[in-house]
Chain A
C-alpha cells in the first residue's frame, strides 16, 4: 500500500498519532461490536453446555444438550420442515425473479417505473402487514382468492390450517413478499450485458429464445448464483411468516428451526437447550456462507 503522506507527516511520531486518531474513529463501532456481537456469541457457546433457564444461572451439563438434539423428535422435524421450506422458495423465487426482470428490463420510461414499483413494493413492507394482507385475501369465508382455490380443490380451503397447504402457501406469500429484491439484482445484471451482443446475434438471425440461451443465460449466471445463495441463506432463517401465519401448525407441520429456538428459550424457559439449537443454526448458516463465498469467488472465471 502506497503511504503517500506529505513530507511534514512522514516522520516517526505521526504514525502513533494516526493510530490514536484511528482508535477514536473505530471505537464506537468496535465497542458495539464487542458487546453486542462477540460477547453474545461466546456466551451462546457457554450457555449451550448448561441447563440454565432463560434468565439466571444453570449447572454445567457437558455435551448433554447436544446429545439431546439428536434424539429430539420436534427438533428433527423442524430441520426437515426448514429444508422443505427452502426447497419451496429458493429455486422458484430465483427463476421467477429472472423472468420478471427480463420482462421489466425491455420497458422504458414511466412504464418501467410503474411495473417495477408493482413488483418491488411488497418487499418494502413489514412482515406483519404482508401476513395480514394474505390472511384477508385467503380467508376461508370472505377471501377474494378462495374462488381460485375452489377451481383446484372443488371446495374452499383454510390454507393455513391444512397440513398439506400450509407450508406451500407460506412459501408462496414469502415469494410474493421478497421477490422484488431478486428482480432488482437481475435487472442490474441484465443492464451490464452489452447491447451489441444482441444486435450481432439478431443480425445472424438468432431468435428471442436463441438469444436468451446463448447470450443472456451464460452472462447472467453469476447473478443467478448470487441470488440463489443469498436466498438459500435467507430462507434457512425463516421464522416471522411462519409464526404469524401458522404458529408452526397445524400439528407442528410447519415448525421450523428458528421457531424451535424461540420455543425452547422463550416459551419453555430452557435457555441452555435453546442456545444449543441456536448454535446448530449458527453453524449451518456459517457453513453455507463459506460455500457462498467459494461459489461467488470463482464467478469471474467462467
Chain B
C-alpha cells in the first residue's frame, strides 16, 4: 500500500472518507427514517438504526395515495421521452454527419444555437400549445415539450463523424441502403453512446419537475416526482410517510445510476463537452 506510506497521505484519505460520509449522511438518514414507526421518528435523541423496524410507512403510502398510477405515468412518459429523443436525434445526427443536403449547415447552426434557450421561458407558450392540442393532463402533454434536447443530436453527430469513411463506402458498394447503414452499422458501432445517452435522458425525464407539475395536475398523468409533494401536502408532518414516498420516487433513478455508474458519468461528461 504505497499510497499510505506517508502519514499525510493517510490523513487525506481519511478526510475524503469522512467528508464523503458526511455528504451522503442525509440520504442515509432519510432512508432510515422511513423504516421507523412515526412515534419513533419524533422521539427525542438520535437513533441511527430503527428500534422497531417496520415497512408501515411504505404500506401506508401504497394504500393511501395513487402512487402506483404516478409510477405508471412516470415510466410511460420518461420511457416515451427517452425513445423519441434518442430515435429522432440519432437520425438527425446521422444525416448531418453523413449526408449532404441543402440547409445542412443552417440546421446544425440552429441546433447549436438552441442550446442556449431556457425551456423555463417557454412554459407559457408550451402550455398554450398543449391546450390547443387538447393534451393538458395527458401523457402526450407531459412528453412533447421535453423532446427538444439539442445536445443529443450534437453528441451523435460527433460520434458518427469519427467513424472512418471506409465503412460507409464498403457498405454502399455492397448495395446497402442508408437505412441499413444507419441501423446495422452506425448505431451498433455506437451502442455505448446510445446506452449512456438513453440512461441520462430517462433520468432527466423522470426527474423533471416544472413542466410535468404545470401540465399534469390530476392523477391521470401526474408523475411520481410531482406526486410525492402531494403526499407531503396531505400528510402534514408525518416524516416517515413523506420520505417513504420520496424513497419510492428516487428508487428507479438511484438504481439506474448505481448499476450503470460508469455509463452515467461518461454521458454527463460527454454532454458537457469534455470526454472523461
Please list the residues of chain A having a beta carbon within 8 angstroms of any beta carbon in chain B.
1-6, 8-9, 15, 18-19, 21-23, 25-26, 28-30, 32-33, 35-37, 39-41, 43-44, 47, 54-55, 100, 103-104, 106-108, 111, 113-115, 117-122, 124-129, 132-137, 139, 141-142, 144, 176, 181, 184-185, 187-189, 191, 223, 226, 230, 233, 236-237, 239-240, 244, 258, 261-262, 265-266, 271, 274-275, 278-279, 281-282, 285-286, 289-290
Cβ contact within 8 Å between A141 and B42: yes
With A29-B153, A55-B131, A115-B17 known as contacts, the answer to whether A289 contacts B115 (CB < 8 A) is: yes
B276 touches A188 (CB 8 A): yes
Instruction: Check B26–A137 contact: CB distance below 8 A.
Output: yes
Among B55-63, B84-92, B190-198, the one that faces the other chain is B84-92
With A117-B261, A121-B27, A239-B210 as given contacts, are A36 and B126 in contact (CB-CB < 8 Å)?
yes
Once the chains bind, are A136 and B101 in contact (CB under 8 Å)? no
Chain A neighbourhood of B269, CB < 8 A: 184-185, 188
Interface centre among B84, B118, B203, B274 (most CB of A within 10 A): B118
A132 close to B242 (CB less than 8 A): yes
**Within 8 Å of chain A (Cβ to Cβ): is B67?**
no
* A100-B19, A122-B27, A266-B123 given; 16 more Cβ-contact pairs under 8 Å: A6-B172, A22-B99, A22-B104, A30-B92, A37-B114, A55-B128, A117-B258, A118-B21, A122-B23, A128-B226, A134-B26, A136-B239, A233-B116, A271-B124, A278-B122, A282-B117
Chain A minimum-CB-distance residue to B226: A128
- Is the CB–CB distance between B124 and A274 below 8 Å? yes
Please give the distance in Å from B61's CB to the nearest CB on chain A.
12
**Are the CB atoms of A223 and B274 closer together than 8 Å?**
yes
Residue of chain B at shortest CB distance from A276: B124
Q: Within residues 235 to 257 of chain B, which ones have a CB less than 8 A from any CB in chain A?
A: 237, 239, 242-243, 245-247, 249-250, 253-254, 256-257
Decide yes or no whether B5 CB sits under 8 A from chain A. no
Chain A residues within 8 Å of B148, by CB:
32-33, 36-37
Contact of B118 among A1, A185, A237, A240 (CB under 8 A): A237
User: Contacts A19-B102, A226-B272: A282 and B95 contacting too (C-beta < 8 A)?
Assistant: no
Chain B residues within 8 Å of A244, by CB: 209, 229
Q: What is the size, in residues, of chain B's interface with A at 8 Å between Cβ atoms?
A: 98
Known A-B contacts A40-B129, A44-B125; A133 and B120 likewise in contact (beta carbons under 8 Å): no
Which residues does B use to contact A, with CB under 8 Å?
3, 12-13, 15-17, 19-21, 23-24, 26-27, 29-30, 33, 41-42, 46, 84, 87-89, 91-92, 94-96, 99-102, 104, 107, 110-111, 114-118, 120-129, 131, 144-145, 147-148, 153, 165, 169, 172-173, 178, 182, 203, 206-207, 209-210, 214, 225-226, 228-229, 232, 237, 239, 242-243, 245-247, 249-250, 253-254, 256-258, 261, 264-265, 268-269, 272-276
- Report yes or no: A132 in contact with B246, Cβ–Cβ below 8 A: yes
A-B residue pairs, 6 tightest by C-beta: A289-B116, A188-B276, A22-B101, A118-B20, A25-B95, A29-B92
- Chain B nearest CB from A32 CB (Å) reads 5
Considering the chains assembled together, what is the distance between the CA atoms of A201 and B78 in angstroms?
Answer: 50
The distance in angstroms between the C-alpha atoms of A121 and B276, with both chains bound, is 18
Contact (Cβ within 8 A) B274 A226 = yes
Contacts A47-B125, A120-B265, A139-B239; A281 near B169 (Cβ below 8 A): no
B276–A176 touching, CB < 8 Å: no
